[in-house]
Amino acid sequence: MKNEELILSLNGNQDFKQMALELAEKKEDLEFVVKFVKKEQSSLKYKASKIIRLISEEHPEVLKPHMDEIFSWIHHQNSFIKWDGIFVMANLAGYVEQDNQLSYVDVYLSLLEDPQMITAGNAAGSAWKIVHALPQFEGIITEKLLSIPEIIYVHKGEPSPECNAIVCGKVLECFEQYYDKSAHQEEILQFAKGQLHSVRKAVAKKAVLFVKRVEEIKK
């Protein structure tokens, strides 16, 4: 498909899943859409990044040649592009070359210290995918996630305990995905117990359910 036609398709087609399915089978069109995200000034770039995110969930292997370009999205000045970059980065963990895996994990974990709660929360909530794909890094990933209560997140220029609580809730969701296979179960359980009286009722509820499930397993 010609680039002009592809742009028109992005502009008019609202069936993102169908577009993702089609692009996954078209090497040249896929490359164009990946690069389009950073080059485009209009809102079409958001559609493009969302389509790439969908492809990473269903056909991550076709994005392997474009990993460097997509991973650069996490530094994008636009938050929506950055967040899609985070999700795709986690989805592609299994395709990172061995020599680059440690630096990849370090860069991903640095996102947990972003002062913006949504950025850190998205990274925390998807970290389990990296643990599943690269289990040898479970220790350093878990250690960083356990440190979240000490990280300051900002709302309207001020430190926000509530934002921290929200990210802690995302960490709990992440731990749910790999607790059973973790080598740090006791530390994770203590983290969950520390959230039982969270300032966010929804997080406290998650903690109650998490602790209850773990205690039932231990019986």
Whole-number Å distance between alpha carbons of 27 and 30: 5
Whole-number Å distance between alpha carbons of 26 and 39: 20
Q: What is the pLDDT of residue 42?
A: 87
Q: What is the pLDDT of residue 40?
A: 86
Q: What is the pLDDT of residue 13?
A: 63
Radius of gyration of the chain (CA): 19
Whole-number Å distance between alpha carbons of 13 and 9: 6
> Could you tell me the mean pLDDT of each successive run of 10 residues in the chain, 219 residues long?
66 77 89 92 90 95 96 95 98 97 98 97 98 98 98 94 97 97 96 96 97 85
Whole-number Å distance between alpha carbons of 194 and 176: 15
Whole-number Å distance between alpha carbons of 20 and 48: 9
Q: What is the pLDDT of residue 171?
A: 98
Q: What is the pLDDT of residue 21?
A: 87
Residue 70 exposure: Cα atoms within 13 Å on the Cβ side: 34
